[in-house]
Structure 1
Amino acid sequence: MHTHALTDRPQQLARPVAAGRSFEIGEEDFLLDGEPFRIISGALHYFRVHPELWADRIRKARLMGLNTIETYVAWNAHAPARGVFDTEGGLDLGRFLDLVAAEGMHAIVRPGPYICAEWTNGGLPAWLFADPAVGVRSSEERYLGAIAEYLEQLAPILVPRQIDRGGPIILVQIENEYGAYGSDRRYLERLVALNRAVGLSVPFTTVDQPTPEMLEAGSLPGLHKTASFGSRSLERLATLRAHQPSGPLMCAEFWDGWFDHWGAHHHTTDAAATAHDLDELLAAGASVNIYMFHGGTNFGFTNGANDKGVYQPLVTSYDYDAPLDEAGDPTEKYWALREVIAKHAPVPEERPVAGGAAPAFEVSLELGVPLLEVAEELGEFAPFEAPPTMDELGRFDGFALYRTEVEWAGPAVLHVAEVRDRAQVLLDGDPVGVFARTHRTHALALPRDGRGTLDLLVEDQGRVNYGPRIGEPKGIVGEVRLGEEPLRRWRAAGLDVDRLDAVRPRLRAGAIAGPSYHAGSFELEEPVDLHLGTEGWGKGVVWVNGFNLGRYWSAGPQRSLYVPAPVLRRGENELVVLELTAAPCGVVRFLAAPELGHTDF
C-alpha cells in the first residue's frame, strides 16, 4: 500500500519557533537574534498540496536538512471575485504557516501580487482586468488599489506570524522577477509602501535572474537582491555580488527541475549535477531556496501557460522532478541533496520512508450523459448579438458554451477570429471539428448543405503566467463567420462543470460519444494514494468523490493523475470523467506508479 509513513522511528514534534526573536540583514550575513544564520529553504506551495498532507511534506523538508519553507501566495485562488477572500481548507495559509512553525522551521512568504509559478494568470485574478484600462504589474492606480485591498486581506494572516511576534516568517519578497518584465520603479516603491502599511516589518527582498539588466530593473535601493538560477552557481553568485555589494548572497530560486507542457516531453535533471551545483553554492557561503522541494499538483483548472509566440499550456502534474515527488516520496535527488546539505549544516538522523506501490485495479464506467444535455443546468444562458468572451460571461476558468442556429447551401467554411484556447464545434450535437490555439486554426470546412444548432464548446486551457499576455481574456475573441457573413443571435454561458450534483441525476447506462460525463465507483479497504491512468482516453477532466483532480490529454507527456489519499474514503468511492473528444473505452485503470511521460534523453 502507498501510504504516508514519515520515518522508521517514533516521531517527535519539533520545538516551535521561540517568541520575540529578531531577524535582520547584516553586512555579511543574515542575522537571527544577532547571530549569523544561513537560510537553507525549500519551496512548497500550500495551494498545490492537499491540506491534510501539509504536515507530512513540511516534516520531510526538515528531515532533508532544510530550516525554512518558502511559499508563494496565489491571490486568484483566494479571491475568485472582488471582495471575496477565501482562507478555508486548502487555502488556510495561516494553518500552513503554523505547521511550519510547529516543525521548528522558518518561513519565507512571496505574496506577489504577481507570482508566475506556472500558475494560471501568474496568480493575478482574472476579474481584475475586466476593465481594460487596469494596469498589469505597473503603478497604474486601479491596479494598485486592488493590491492594497489584497494586502489588507492578507495582513491578519501574515502580520502576527512574523518572527518578531513569535511566528515563523523571516522574509517577504516584493513582486517576482520583475526585471524580466518591466522597470517601473514607482511601482516597486508603492508595493514596498503598501506592504509596510499593513504591518509587515520583516526584511524585504527581490529576486531576478542574474543578468545586470534584470537585477537593476527588478529592485530598489534598500531592497536586498537575490537571484534565481539552477547551474553555474559560482558564476551567477559573482554576478549577484556585483549588484548586491554587501549582505548575504542568496539564490532564492535554485532550480532543481523544471515544468512540463502538454504535447512536449517530461523534464528531468541529473541528481548528481544538481547536487554538485548546490554544493558549490553552499561552499561559497550563500543561502538558498530550493525550487521546488516538493512541487505538488495543479488540481482543477489552476495550471498556467506560456506564450512566446506559441501557446503552451502546462500539464496537471507539478512534480518538477523535485526531491520529494508528487506523491510525497523521497527521490534519488532528495538523498543527493540531503548528503550535500549535511556537509554544510546539521541534518536530522531520522530518515523519511518511501511509500510502496499503489493498488492497481480497474473501474468500469457504466453510466454517462452528454454534456450538451446538462449544459442548461451548468450555466445561465443569455442572448448576445456577437459572441462574448468568457470573462464577459463571468467565467474565469474551465468551459463556456456558445450556441446559434445556422443554415447554408453548398460548400461552406466556418471562421473564428481567435479562440482562447480550444473550441470543439458541434452541429446538432455531432462533432464537426476543433479550433485549437496551439495549432493556430481559424477555419473549418463544414459538410455540404446543412442547417441546425451550432455549438462551440470552448475550453480555457490555462491563462498565460509569464510575459506580456498576462491578463488577456479567454473564450471566443472577435467575430465568428459562416463564409463571409458574421453569425449573430448567440446564446452563451460559462459552464460550471464541477456541478456534479446537476449531472448525477441524468446519468444512464449505454454508450455515449462526443463531449460527455461518464461515471463509476470502486471500493477501498482504506484511503491510500492512487495513480489514475489516462492511457486510451482523449482529453478531459476527472473527479474523485467530487474533488477535481485536473486535466488529462492524450497529447502527453503525462499519462496518469495523482489521487491524494485524503480525497478517498473507506468503502465506496465515486469516479466521474468528463471526456471531451471521443467515446471512451469504458474502463479506467489505476496504476502502481505514476506515468509522467517520456523524457528527451
Structure 2
Amino acid sequence: MPALTTTSNGFLLHGEPFRILSGALHYFRVHPDQWTDRLRKARLMGLNTVETYVPWNLHEPEPGTLDLDGLLDLPRFLRLAADEGLHVLLRPGPFICGEWDGGGLPFWLTADPANADIRLRTSDPRFTDAVDRYLDLLLPPLLPYMAAAGGPVIAVQLENEYGAYGDDIAYLKHLESSLRSRGIEELLFTCDQAGGDHLTHGTLPGVLATATFGSRVEHNLARLREAQPDGPLMCSEFWIGWFDHWGGPHHGRDAADAAADLDRLLSAGASVNIYMFHGGTNFGYTNGANHHHAYVPTITSYDYDAPLTESGDPGPKYHAFREVIARHAPVPSDPAPAPAPKLPETTVELTRSTPLLSHLGTPVRSTDPLTADELGQRAGYVHYRTTLPTPGAGLLHFTGGVGDRAQVFVDGAPSGVLERERYDETLPVHVPRPGAVLDVLVENMGRVNYGPRIGVPKGLLGPVTFDGTPLHGWDCHPLPLDEAPDTTAFTPAGTTAAGTTAFTPAGTPAFTPAGTPTSAEPAFHHGTFEVTTPADTFLSLPGWTKGQAWINGFHLGRYWNRGPQRTLYVPAPVLHPGTNDLVLLELHGTTATRAHLTDTPDLGSPEHS
C-alpha cells in the first residue's frame, strides 16, 4: 500500500490527513552546493513537499548511459530533501516541457535515421521501448528513495500535460505499467491544463488527475471536479510567474495578486504545487524554446518571478505566501531567511583573446552540409566551410533554413546573419574572387520544448546554393563547446595578432593581447579577477554582443544584448578565494575589454501579468 493515499476529498499520508503544500525546485537548475540552502528555505516558507522534473536528455545523454553526477545527482538531492523533513513529488516524464531543451526528450531519439518518422509521446514501440530502456537505468538508483522504502518520494507523475498534446490512452497505460513493473508503488498522478479537453485526453482511470493553472481558482477547481467527481483537488502547477524569451519582455506577477489566489486555493481545501518556488538557471545549453507562429528561444535565467529569486533570496512572494500558508497550516517559527551576501563590485579586464576558429577539430566531409543531429551533437555550434566558385554579387539560399542562427563570412569578412525566428533562408553576398572561402557558424539556440515541433533538427537544414548553383564539398566541424578552452595552454602572445582573421585552416591557437577593440570575428576572451570571500554575484557585459560565459570552467550560459536579461547569475560555489578565471565566447565584435561583477541582477523591466 502506498504511503500517500486518497479519500473522497483529500489525501492520507500513512493513514493521517495530509495536505500537499509543495513548491517546484528543479535540482538540475541549481548548483548542487546550494541544494541544502534552497530546500531549507522551502521548509521555512511553510512547504512540506518539493516537486522536481527529471530531464531524460541529460540523464541519458547517449543510449544506454546514465549520468547521476554533479547537477544530475538526483539521489543526493532526494537525500537532502529527506534530511530537511520534506516530501517529494517526482515528475520523471518522459516528457517534462519545463522550458527545457527539447522538453527533456533526447535529441538522439529523432536523430537516428531509423526513427525518422518516430511518433514521440505515443505508443509507437520505438518510443516506448526507448522509454523503458531509460527507466531500466533510472529507477533502480531511485527506488531506495521511494516512500515504500522509507524515502521522501510520496507520488510520481505520469507524463506531463499530455492532454495538450495527444489522446493515446494506450501510451499512458504503458507508462503506468512500466513504472509499476519496475517497483514504483507510490501514488501515480497526471497533470493537465483545466481548459478545453485537456483533462479528458490526458487522464487515465485509476490514476489521480490534477490540474494546472495560475488564476480563476474557483472555475478551474470546478473543471477538475467535473473531470474527476471523487478524490482530492490539487493544482499541480500553480503558476505564480512566467518565463522570458530573448527579445521579449521580462514577465512578472504582482505578489499580492498571486497570494490572493493561493489563499483561494487553500481555502477551497485543495493541495498545491507552486510553480515555481525557486526557478534557478538554465546553465550551459539547457534552455528550451517555443515555436507557435515563430521560433522563440528561452533566456538563460529561469527566475520565473518566483518566491525565491534566481540567486536564492526571498522575494516579495516569499513573504506574502508565507503569511497565506500560516493561515492554513503550521509554519516554522524561525525568522524568514535574509538575502545572501553578494560579492563586492569587481571589474574584470579581459586581457587575452583567441579566435574561435583556431580551435576547429577534424572536419566531417560531406557533399551537402550535415545537420547537427546527423553529426551527433545535442547542443552548441556547428561550423561549415566550402568555397564559392563565381566572383561578384549573388544570392546565397539555405534550403530549409537554419537552426537556429547562422553567421555568414566570405573570405573572413562578415556578410550577414540568418535567424530561424525570422524564417531567413536567403542572404545577398559579394564574392571577391573565384574560390573565396564561405564560412557559416550556426548556433543552436535551444530545442523546442512544447508542441509538435519537438525533435526538429539543428545546424544547416538542407543544401545551399549560390545564384541557383549548388555548393558541394563541405567541411562540417561539430563545436559542442561544453567547456571553454584551457587557458593554461595558451601564451600571452602568439603568431595571430589581435584583430586579424582566423578564417583560414587552423594553426596553433594562442590567446593574444586584447588591449584594443577586436574585429567582428568570433573569439574567446580571457581575464582573471581576485576574490577574498566567495559570494553570489552577477556578470554584467556592457559593450559585448552575444555569446557564452564560463567562470572557473563552470558554464554560466548564454548572454545576448537583445535582452531582456542583462546579467548572468554566478553562484557563490563557482568562485574560490584567490585568482578566478573568466572566459567569454563573443560571437560578434565588441568595443569592450572588460566585464563587471555586480551585486544586483538585471533581468529587464518587469511586465506584470
State the SS of the aligned residue for 1:53: helix
2:479 is matched with 495
What residue in structure 1 maps to residue 503 of structure 2? none
- The code of the aligned residue for 2:597 comes to F
In the alignment, structure 1 residue 438 sits paired with structure 2 residue 445: no
Shift of 1:167: 0.3
Normalization by structure 1: what TM-score?
Answer: 0.95
Give the deviation of 1:372 after TM superposition: 1.2
> Quick check: 499-508 or 30-39, which moved more?
499-508
The match for 2:11 is 30
1:168 to 152, 176, 184: 152
1:508 counterpart (512, 515, 522): 512
The one-letter code of the counterpart of 1:432 is: S
Contact 2:380 2:482 in 1 (8 A): no
Aligned to 1:466: 450
Return 255-264 or 209-218, whichever deviates more.
209-218
CA distance in 1 between counterparts of 2:422 and 2:544 reads 21
In the alignment, what sits opposite 1:395?
Answer: 377
User: Which of 208, 216, 226 is the aligned partner of 2:210?
Assistant: 226
Match of 2:498 in 1: none
CA contact (8 A) 1:212 1:243 kept: no
Aligned residues: 579
Aligned equivalent of 2:21: 40
Structure 1 residue 444, shift from structure 2 partner = 1.1
Report the residue type matching 2:160 in the other structure.
N
Query: What is the deviation of 1:375?
Result: 1.7
> Gaps spanning 5+ residues in structure 1: where?
1-19
State the distance in 2 between where 1:208 and 1:538 align. Answer: 39
Alignment check: 8 A CA contact 2:379 2:480 kept = no
Q: 1:103-502 counterparts in 2 under 5 A?
A: 103-130=84-111, 131-350=115-334, 351-376=336-361, 380-417=362-399, 418-447=401-430, 449-451=432-434, 452-501=436-485
CA distance in 2, matches of 1:110, 1:495: 32
Corresponding position of 2:54: 73
User: 1:211, CA displacement in angstroms?
Assistant: 2.2
Alignment partners' CA distance in 1, 2:561 and 2:590: 14
**For the residues of structure 2 that align with 1:401 and 1:410, how far apart are their CA atoms?**
24
Residue pair 2:340, 2:536 contacting (<8 A) in 1 also:
no
| TM-fit CA distance, 1:128 | 1.2
Residue type of the partner of 2:411?
D
Matched to 1:375, the amino acid is L
Q: Is the 8 A contact 1:358 1:593 kept in 2?
A: no
CA contact (8 A) 2:366 2:475 kept: yes
**Distance in structure 1 (CA, Å) of the matches to 2:486 and 2:314:** 40
- Pairwise CA RMSD: 1.3
1:187-233 C-alpha deviation (Å, 9 max, x unpaired) = 10101111111100101000000025100100111111000001111
- For 2:546 and 2:552, the matched residues in 1 are separated by 20
- 1:449 Cα deviation after fit: 4.0
**Cα distance, 1:448 vs. partner?**
5.4
Determine if contact 2:100/2:286 at 8 Å carries over to the other structure.
yes
1:26-61 deviation per Cα after TM superposition (whole angstroms, max 9, x unaligned): 222111111210000000000000000000000000
Q: Residues 265-321 of structure 1: CA distance to partner in whole angstroms, max 9, x if unpaired?
A: 110000000000000000000000000000000000000000002110000000000
Whichever residue aligns with residue 344 of structure 1, its letter is H
Q: Comparing 539-548 with 357-366, which one deviates more in the overlay?
A: 357-366
Name 1:5's counterpart in structure 2. Answer: none
Q: Does 1:520 align with 2:501?
A: no
Q: Deviations over 1:358-385 (max 9, x none)?
A: 4212111010011112223xxx311100
Aligned residues of 2:2 and 2:186 also touching (Cα < 8 A): no
> What whole-Å deviation, never above 9, does each CA across 1:160-199 have from its counterpart, x for those lacking one?
2111211001100000000000001111010111111110
2:252 partner letter:
T
Match of 2:71 in 1: 90
Percent identity reads 51
Give the Cα–Cα distance (whole angstroms) in 2 for the partners of residues 243 and 193 of structure 1: 23
Structure 2 residue aligned with 1:582, among 543, 568, 589?
A: 589
* Equivalent position amino acid for 2:478 in 1: G
Shift of 1:450: 3.1
Unaligned stretches of 5+ in structure 2? 491-509
SS at match of 1:236: helix
Match of 1:564 in 2: 571
Whether contact under 8 Å (1:46, 1:71) holds in the other structure is yes
CA displacement, residues 482-510 of structure 1 (integer Å, 9 cap, x when unaligned): 11011100010211323434564221113
CA distance, structure 1, for counterparts of residue 588 and residue 425 of structure 2 = 19
Displacement of 1:584 after TM fit? 4.2
How much has 1:70 moved relative to structure 2? 0.3
Inter-partner Cα distance in structure 2 for 1:283 and 1:591: 42
Q: Determine which of 59, 67, 80 is the counterpart of 1:99.
A: 80
**Superimposed CA distance per residue, residues 310-358 of structure 1 (whole angstroms, 9 cap, x where no aligned partner):** 1100000000000000000000110000000000000001121112454
Q: Describe the SS at the equivalent of 1:267.
A: strand
- Is the deviation greater in 511-520 or in 224-233? 511-520
SS in 2 for 1:319: coil
Q: Which amino acid aligns with 2:553?
A: G
AA paired with 1:485? Answer: T
1:109-166 deviation line (CA, Å, top 9, x unaligned): 0000000000000000001112213220010001101100111111123222111211
Name the SS of the counterpart of 2:185 in structure 1: coil
